[in-house]
Amino acid sequence: MTKTNDDFQNSASSRSVHAGEQREKPYHSLIDPIVPTSTYVFDSYEDICQFTQDKNNAVPTDRLEYGRYGNPTIRAVEQRLAALEGGEEALLFASGMAAVTTTLLTFLKAGDHIIFTDDIYRKTREFGQNFLQRFGVESTVVAIGNEEELNAAIRGNTRLILSETPTNPYLRVVDIERLVEIAKQHGLLTIIDATFATPINLRPLEFGVDLVIHSGTKYLGGHHDLLSGVVIGRKELADLVREHVNLMGAVADPYNAYLLLRGMKTLALRVRHQNQASMQLAEYLLTQPLVEQVYYPGLTNHPDHDIAKRQMTGFGGVVSFTLLSDLERTARFLDRLKIPYITPSLGGAESLVSQPALLSYYSISAEDRAAWGIKDNLVRYALGIEDAQDLIDDLQQAFDWLKNQT
């Protein structure tokens, strides 16, 4: 009997290390090997016939024919991700955006309508409002948490609702139970991008969500050294998406899959540290006279604190805040920081900081940024695994400098 590592793995920490792995691996290796092949060979005509017969009859098999349709290293990652989220099936993609776009193209056609909640990742929103519109798919953006606006946006041709939680960059938290309830009343699919939450802090499938998306580039990989995306959910839905990724080719490669598999082993440790350190940093920022507002769902003054407390086990590793400053002095404040790197990403071992108005939204006019709610003085701080007090001390010296500039 083949042993697996799934027995007795009830905690997120254990699942992130062991879930989905075969206990006995090739060559008695402890670690799942990288299988860098683009194709797979058949021993004979009979071997081909048996493979074709099994495939046509949906007989489970580990046999593969071509790299675009599967890979053992990638499959190990998918099985672990499915276990972490509590889903039946997971699909790995070349990037988070590949996961988003392929999934939407799977379930939408000309004449359909999709609803996005606001404050979602800019490129996801642009894909819906610009790219899909070219192919006859309409979209509506509604304010997160505004149930009346959501109900009013639902039409006869609406097919799905896509939201993030927590959102980027203001860390809004959607009431998943209520979102799912409304969607089911109208027969709509629900998709949640839970990249900021990770499976350690939130498992949306447990609330009835149909599909969960992650940018594996962020917390799942955890080391700023790979690109990947994943979709997780019920098998019948995941199989539909798999058909499309096999056709369009936005597949992961085994080298990145190996890095992701390795990164996930420390996922629970990293996220729990980031939860704790982010709370410390957010509370510190509340005491600073040059801080205009702090956005962190762990704070009681956050508009979605009660929702976050009810459905999340941790509040995440990103803290956003606005300064009593203008665009240039906010940028100079970031220049003074000595620990975080200035770059628009998150989720790794190193802390990162960005000013969205100058990085993620640099190509948009000031008027359009304002319409999107992106303030010139907004800072997004994505904590790594450094000591919280070191990060706070670093912020303090930057605040001391800013104080002398006002």
The residues carrying an active-site annotation are 68, 121, 193, 218
In 3D, which of 238, 182, 229 has the Cα closest to residue 210? 238
Helix (H) or strand (E) holding 215: strand 211-215
Helix (H) or strand (E) holding 354: strand 352-354
Query: What does the alpha-carbon distance between residue 241 and residue 197 come to, in Å, rounded to a whole number?
Result: 23
| Token pair in block for residue 231 | 């979709």
Query: What does the alpha-carbon distance between residue 278 and residue 280 come to, in Å, rounded to a whole number?
Result: 5
Distances (CA, A) of 312 to 175, 308, 315, 396, 402: 11, 5, 7, 30, 35
Q: What residue type is assigned to position 175 of the chain?
A: D
Distances (CA, A) of 339 to 35, 237, 327, 343, 347: 37, 43, 21, 12, 15
Q: What is the CA radius of gyration of the chain?
A: 22
Query: What does the alpha-carbon distance between residue 104 and residue 260 come to, in Å, rounded to a whole number?
Result: 24
